Amino acid sequence: MTVPGDRVADVCIVGVGAVGGILAKELARAGLDVVGFERGPALQRSDYAARDSIKFTVRQNQLEWVRHDPVMHRRGRDARASLRYTTSPANALGGALLHWTGQASRFLPGDFRVFTNEVASGLADRAGADLTGYDITDWPVSYEDLEPYYERFEWEFGVSGKAGVNPFEGKRRDYPLPPLRRSARGELFAAACQRLGYHPFDSPAGILSQPYRPPEPYDTRIPERPACVYCGHCNYYGCHVHAKAATLYTAIPAAVETGRFDLRTRSRAFRITTDFSGRATGVAYFDPEGQIREQRARVVILAAFVYENVRLLLLSGPEGASARRGLANSSGMVGRCILAHGDVRAAGVFDDAIINGFIGPGSAAVRIDDFNGNNFDHTGLGFIRGATIGTSGGGTPVERFDVLPPDVPRWGRDFKEFFARAYTRTFELNMQAETLPHPENRIDLDPRRKDAWGVPLPRVTFAFHENEARLRRFLADVGRRIMEETGASHVWTDVKASPNRWAGGTRMGDDPARSVVNSYCQAHDVPNLFVVGSSDFPTMAGYPPTCTIAALAYRTAEYIARQRELFR
Amino acid sequence: MTARTSRRSTSTQNPHERREGRALTRGERVTLAAIAERIFPATDTPGAVDAGAVEYIEIALAGAYASLRARYRRALREIDLHARQTSGRAFRELDGAGQDRILTDLEAGALSAVKNGADFFRLVRQHVLEGIFGDPQYGGNRDLVGWRIVGFPGQRTGYADAYINRVVDLPPIAADDTSAP
CATH of the domain at A69: 3.50.50.60
A419: nearest CA in chain B? B150
From the list B133, B138, B155, which residue is nearest A51 (CB)?
A: B155
Residue-wise burial string across A505-515, b where 16 or more C-beta atoms lie within 10 A, e elsewhere = bbbbbeebebb
Mind telling me how many Å the CA of B117 is from chain A's nearest CA?
Answer: 16
**Inside any domain, residue B105:** yes
CA atoms of A419 and B40, how far apart (whole Å): 11
Domain that holds residue A135: 3-567
Mean pLDDT for chain A overall? 95
The answer on B162 and B86 residing in a single domain is no
**Helix (H) or strand (E) segment spanning residue B74:** helix B69-87
Q: Is pLDDT of B181 > 60? A: no
**Whole domain around residue B178: which residue ranges?**
152-181
Residues B56 and B79 in one domain: yes
Average pLDDT over residues B63-82: 96
Could you give the strand order of the β-sheet that contains A82-84, starting from the edge strand earlier in sequence? A82-84, A71-74, A456-461, A442-450
B21 is a domain residue? no
Whether A231 sits inside 8 A of B159 (CB atoms) is yes
Q: Say whether residue A418 is in contact with chain B using an 8 A CB cutoff.
A: no
Check whether residue B56 and residue B72 sit in a common domain: yes
How close B24 gets to chain A, by Cα (Å)? 21
As for the ipTM of the complex, it is 0.92
Look up the pTM and report it: 0.94
Domain count, chain A: 1
**Do B129 and A50 make contact, defined as CB atoms within 8 angstroms?**
no
Domain for residue B19, yes or no?
Answer: no
Q: Are residues B118 and B31 in the same domain?
A: yes
Q: How many domains does chain B have?
A: 2
**In terms of domains, do B79 and B39 share one?**
yes
Residues B113 and B47 in one domain: yes
Whether residue B123 sits in one domain with residue B137: yes
Cβ burial of A451 (10 Å; 0-12, 13-18, 19+) is middle
Task: Compute the average pLDDT of residues A460-468.
Answer: 96
Q: Using an 8 Å CB-CB cutoff, list residues of chain B that contact chain A.
A: 38-41, 43, 45, 64, 100, 103, 107, 125, 129-130, 133-135, 137-138, 146-147, 149-152, 155-159, 161, 163-168, 175
A411 and B161: CB-CB below 8 Å? no
Predicted confidence (pLDDT) at residue A143 exceeds the cutoff of 90: yes
Is A61 within 8 Å of chain B by CB?
A: no
Cβ separation of B40 and A411 shorter than 8 Å? yes
For residue B18, name the pLDDT band (cuts at 50, 70, 90): low
Domain match, B176 and B125 both: no
* CA nearest neighbour of A245 among A139, A312, A138, A156: A156
Q: Mean pLDDT check: name the lowest of A223-227, A482-486, B10-14, B64-68.
A: B10-14
**Residue B14's pLDDT band (boundaries 50, 70, 90)?**
low
When scoring B124, B165, B168 by the number of chain A Cβ atoms within 10 A, the one with the most, hence best to mutate, is B165
Q: How far is CA A283 from CA A42, A279, A330, A390, in A?
A: 21, 12, 21, 42
Verify that B128 and B164 share a domain, yes or no.
no
Same domain, B82 and B133: yes
Closest-CA residue of chain A to B167: A354
Coarse DSSP helix, strand, coil percentages of chain B, rounded to the nearest 5 percent: 50, 0, 45
Do B105 and B92 lie in one domain? The reply is yes
Which candidate from B133, B161, B165 shows the least CB-CB separation from A398?
Answer: B133
Strand residues in A66-212 grouped as ranges (E): 71-74, 82-84, 201-202
Domain assignment present for B11? no
pLDDT in the model for residue B83: 97
Share of chain A above pLDDT 70, in %: 98
Residues B129, B168 within the same domain: no
Query: For testing the chain B interface, which of A57, A83, A358, A403 should be mutated: the one with the most B CBs within 10 Å?
Result: A358
